[in-house]
C-alpha cells in the first residue's frame, strides 16, 4: 500500500477561514486515497501564496519528507496550481522530492512523468497559473496608473 501526505493550499487567510476550498480539497483528496488504496500519513493545510516555496507548512513538510526518506511515496494535491505558481521553482521542487523518493501528483491533472510527452503537459500546468498571476498584476498596475491620471485617490482617503 502506498503512503501519501496530502497538501491543501489556499492563498489567503480569508479563503482559509471563510471559504470552502480547503474543506473541498481535503474531501476530494481523501476520497481519491480511499478509492486507490492509499494510506494517508499527514494532511498539511497552508494559507500562503504559491509564488514561491517559502511557505511555513511546506517547509515543515519538506523537512519531514527528508527525515523520513522511503516512508512516504506521494505528496498529493488537487491541481498543479495548488503546488506552485512558479514553473522554475516547481521543477526544482519536483526534483528535490524525487530525490527523497517522493512523487508529487495532482489528482485532478494526473501525469506519469516517466512518459516524455507528459513533460509538455506539466510545463503547461505549471506555466498557466504563473501567466495568470503576471497578467493580473499587469492589469492592476495599468488600472492604478489610469486612476492616477484621472485624479482618483488610490490609498486611504485624506
All structural domains of the chain with their residue ranges: 2-149
What is the overall mean pLDDT for the chain? 87
CATH number for region 2-149 = 3.40.50.1390
Cα-based distances in Å from 42 to 33, 82, 135, 139: 12, 17, 35, 38
Is 17's pLDDT higher than 70? no
State residue 13's pLDDT score: 56
**Helix, strand or coil, per DSSP, at residue 39:** strand
pLDDT in tens, 105-130: 999 999 998 898 898 888 889 887 67
Q: Which three cell numbers stand for residue 49?
A: 501564496
Count of residues making up the chain: 158
pTM of the predicted protein model: 0.79
pLDDT in tens, 58-99: 999 999 999 988 899 999 999 999 999 888 999 999 999 999
Residue 77 phi, psi (nearest 5): -145, 165
Q: Closest Cα to residue 25, out of 40, 6, 5?
A: 6
Amino acid at each position: 500500500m502506498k503512503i501519501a501526505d496530502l497538501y491543501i493550499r489556499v492563498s489567503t487567510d480569508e479563503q482559509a477561514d471563510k471559504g470552502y476550498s480547503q474543506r473541498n480539497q481535503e474531501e476530494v483528496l481523501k476520497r481519491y486515497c480511499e478509492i486507490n488504496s492509499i494510506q494517508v500519513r499527514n494532511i498539511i493545510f497552508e494559507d500562503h501564496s504559491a509564488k514561491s516555496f517559502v511557505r511555513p507548512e511546506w517547509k515543515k513538510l519538506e523537512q519531514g519528507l527528508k527525515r523520513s526518506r522511503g516512508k512516504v511515496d506521494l505528496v498529493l494535491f488537487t491541481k498543479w496550481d495548488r503546488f506552485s505558481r512558479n514553473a522554475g521553482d516547481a521543477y526544482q521542487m519536483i526534483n528535490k522530492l524525487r530525490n527523497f523518493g517522493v512523487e508529487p501528483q495532482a489528482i485532478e491533472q494526473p501525469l506519469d512523468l516517466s512518459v516524455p510527452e507528459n513533460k509538455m503537459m506539466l510545463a503547461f500546468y505549471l506555466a498557466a497559473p504563473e501567466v495568470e498571476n503576471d497578467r493580473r498584476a499587469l492589469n492592476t498596475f495599468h488600472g492604478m496608473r489610469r486612476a492616477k491620471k484621472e485624479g482618483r485617490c488610490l490609498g486611504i482617503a485624506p
